A and B are shown apart, each in its own frame.
Chain A
Amino acid sequence: NAGVTQTPKFRVLKTGQSMTLLCAQDMNHEYMYWYRQDPGMGLRLIHYSVGEGTTAKGEVPDGYNVSRLKKQNFLLGLESAAPSQTSVYFCASSYEGQGAPNQPQHFGDGTRLSIL
């Protein structure tokens, strides 16, 4: 019962480099989300997906791209990393949308990303 798995767990990048964070869920959830967590800011939604082949912008989408080619996977890409993107990134999934009662999100354990 893996739930939501994020890879990698840690990464250090140089400014301008690119990388992709992978999120995989085995719960057959329709909805998937990418958040970033910064000190004193809580969790902020970057992008989300309401089903395979769909993506939508969240609260802080600039500098990131996402893809959902398969229902179980949700990829977050940084095309040209910047120091402001240093953060802890969490992926989550849910059976129904975020606002649906009694359908809380299931989170992965996070990816700690440092941009030098």
Chain B
Amino acid sequence: DQQVKQNSPSLSVQEGRISILNCDYTNSMFDYFLWYKKYPAEGPTFLISISSIKDKNEDGRFTVFLNKSAKHLSLHIVPSQPGDSAVYFCAASGKTSYDKVIFGPGTSLSVIP
């Protein structure tokens, strides 16, 4: 039973428009959430994170929103660029450094020029 779910395996967006990637989790003990980006034949790279004490975190074109009551988070990319085409993994962990990170299955984003 997956604790972190990304129900959309793929998403296509026109260049310049907004990309919204969704993630749901089931474990209410998760306290810290991360998004990783992965290009083909490369390892995942950290993109942005958010702590449970916040509901929004912004870094340039990337914004992550957290809705704890719904156990839902989303990654917004505005404006989307062709270089954003990649697989995006949502991940979650508990409060301490001993807690393991649980990854979702990923969403493949294609930004069409």
Contacts and interface: CB of A to CB of B under 8 A. Distances in A.
Interface residues of A, number: 28
Q: Is the interface of A mostly helix, strand, loop or mixed?
A: loop
Taking each of B4, B49, B96, B101, which has the highest tally of chain A beta carbons within 10 Å of its own beta carbon? B101
Contact of A99 (B42, B96, B103): B96
Given A90-B44, A107-B43, A99 B32 contact: yes
A59 B2 CA distance: 12
A92 to B, nearest CB: 8
Contacts of A48: 100
A44 B41 CA distance: 18
A82 interface: no
Taking residues whose C-beta sits less than 8 angstroms from the other chain, chain B's interface range is 20 to 34
Interface of B: prevailing SS: loop
B99 A110 contact: no
Nearest to B4: A42
Contact of B101 (A40, A102, A105, A109): A105
Contacts of A4: 43
A107 B32 CA distance: 19
24 contacts: A40-B105, A41-B105, A42-B103, A42-B105, A43-B44, A43-B89, A43-B103, A97-B97, A98-B93, A98-B97, A99-B31, A99-B93, A99-B96, A99-B97, A99-B98, A101-B49, A103-B97, A104-B34, A105-B46, A106-B46, A109-B42, A109-B43, A110-B41, A110-B42
Interface of A: 4, 35, 40-45, 48, 58-59, 90, 92, 96-110
